[in-house]
């Protein structure tokens, strides 16, 4: 039971938030310091109407890009501030925040395979599809607890100086060391890596999932010295810039930068790329309440999705954005229909069920 003084302290702080004299994030931190955070949101309804939405992505250029493409337009529409924070919104971080009883994030960036993991532990909310439109997303990327807000793709990048000017046939040439000698790059955190190995071993795209991890690991053991791992986008680019790899897994956003700066010497192909949705899970007890779904719905606007493509290279999740693409943007948009048809949608259910186990086995194998 709160003392009257403590209750009045919370009420005064909440009133400052309502008047715009204190940000909601500062309010939550202050209440947490006083030990009141779990209760503070109920202070006489003072925060019933959100004054701020806090969104967390994985940082870097994405912070400013999300702010420009999505945050500022929503604020202009509604008057509600959108704060974009760079961090590590992993399932573990979300779990720790929710279980602390002091939730300060409204929604975060994430992969679709996060959703069943987080939902099972009741850490996130089902999406309000009366507000967010299922019709503005490809049906394969609509889930109970979230839908795609952007698309990204893991593609086969290549160095024409090392391939003798030949363009690989997507990941089907990934293990073709005879015609394309040299090392290959693999994503340390798995998505796209085993797919590249299996397609290179002759597995047909429509037979790719469930992934045959035994087969993939056997191939990796046989050719382990031919693979170099990367854990972040900048590192993946550097492997190509330094001439360490002939071809390899790379996000299309990074590949397009290499293509541009090298005047086409470092290229990529959409063939057999693994295309995946970026999702915004909404935390339970999120401070902004249902207003967060209005923000997510606003990101579905085709013009705002095109702006993110221009700034960051992420593909629009809304197919209607295709009508707004310039020729230059069509080249780099993984979701542009002719590019999309050449790729393979990731099987998020398989990753949700198997990721932790397979990831650990993969790192053990590559580190041994």
> What mean pLDDT do residues 179-206 have?
97
- Long-range contact pairs involving 31-39 (C-beta distance under 8 Å, separation at least 24): 31/102, 32/102, 34/6, 34/9, 36/2, 36/6, 36/9, 36/10, 37/101, 37/102, 38/101, 38/102, 39/2, 39/10
- CA torsion 247→317→309→329, rounded to 10°? 70
User: Each residue of 290-319: pLDDT tens digit?
Assistant: 999 999 999 999 999 999 999 999 999 999
Asked if residue 40 is part of any domain, the answer here is no
Domain total in the chain = 2
Q: What is the pLDDT of residue 208?
A: 98
Same domain, 116 and 187: no
User: Each residue of 205-259: pLDDT tens digit?
Assistant: 999 999 999 999 999 999 999 999 999 888 999 999 999 999 999 999 999 999 9
Q: Which is more confidently placed, 28 or 9?
A: 28
Same domain, 308 and 180: no
**DSSP annotation of 294:** H
Q: What is the pLDDT of residue 35?
A: 45
Same domain, 101 and 171: no
313 touches 153 (CB < 8 A): no
Q: Given the structure tokens 């720790």, which residue do they identify?
A: 96
Same domain, 179 and 235: yes
Burial code of 284-320, b = ≥16 C-beta within 10 A, e = fewer? Answer: eebbbbebbbbbbbbbbbbebbbbbbbbbbbbbbbbe
Q: What is the pLDDT of residue 4?
A: 35
Domain hosting 203: range is 151-277+336-367
d(CA 183, CA 180): 9
CA 36 distance to own-chain centroid: 33
d(CA 260, CA 79): 38
Same domain, 129 and 236: no
Backbone angles phi, psi at 228, to 5 degrees: -120, 135
Same domain, 235 and 361: yes
CATH code of the domain containing 183: 3.40.190.10
């Amino acid at each position: 039971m709160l003392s009257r003084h403590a209750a009045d302290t919370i009420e005064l702080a909440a009133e400052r938030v309502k008047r715009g004299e204190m940000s909601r994030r500062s309010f939550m931190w202050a209440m947490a310091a006083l030990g009141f955070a779990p209760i503070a949101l109920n202070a006489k309804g003072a925060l019933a109407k959100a004054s701020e939405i806090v969104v967390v992505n994985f940082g870097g250029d994405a912070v400013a890009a999300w702010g420009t493409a999505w945050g500022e337009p929503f604020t202009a529409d509604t008057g509600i501030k959108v704060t974009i924070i760079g961090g590590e919104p992993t399932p573990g971080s979300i779990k720790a925040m929710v279980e602390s009883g002091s939730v300060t994030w409204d929604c975060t960036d994430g992969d679709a395979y996060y959703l069943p993991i987080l939902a099972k532990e009741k850490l996130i909310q089902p999406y309000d599809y009366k507000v967010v439109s299922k019709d503005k997303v490809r049906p394969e990327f609509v889930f109970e607890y979230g839908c795609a807000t952007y698309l990204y793709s893991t593609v086969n990048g290549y160095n024409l100086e090392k391939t003798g000017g030949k363009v690989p046939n997507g990941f089907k040439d990934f293990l073709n060391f005879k015609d394309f000698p040299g090392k290959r790059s693999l994503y340390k955190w798995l998505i796209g890596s085993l797919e590249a190995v299996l397609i290179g071993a002759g597995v047909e795209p429509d037979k790719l999932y469930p992934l045959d991890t035994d087969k993939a690991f056997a191939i990796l053991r046989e050719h382990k010295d031919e693979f170099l791992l990367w854990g972040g986008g900048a590192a993946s680019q550097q492997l190509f810039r330094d001439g360490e790899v002939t071809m390899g897994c790379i996000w299309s956003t990074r590949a397009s930068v290499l293509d541009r700066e090298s005047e086409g010497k470092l290229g990529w192909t959409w063939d057999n790329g693994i295309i995946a949705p970026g999702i915004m899970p909404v935390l339970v007890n999120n401070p902004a309440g249902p207003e967060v779904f209005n923000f997510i719905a606003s990101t579905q606007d085709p013009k705002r999705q095109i702006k993110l493509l221009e700034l960051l290279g992420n593909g629009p999740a809304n197919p209607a954005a295709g009508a707004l693409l310039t020729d230059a943007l069509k080249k780099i948009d993984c979701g542009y229909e002719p590019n999309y048809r050449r790729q393979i949608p990731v099987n998020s259910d398989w990753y949700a069920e198997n990721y932790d186990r397979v990831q650990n086995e993969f790192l053990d194998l590559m580190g041994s």
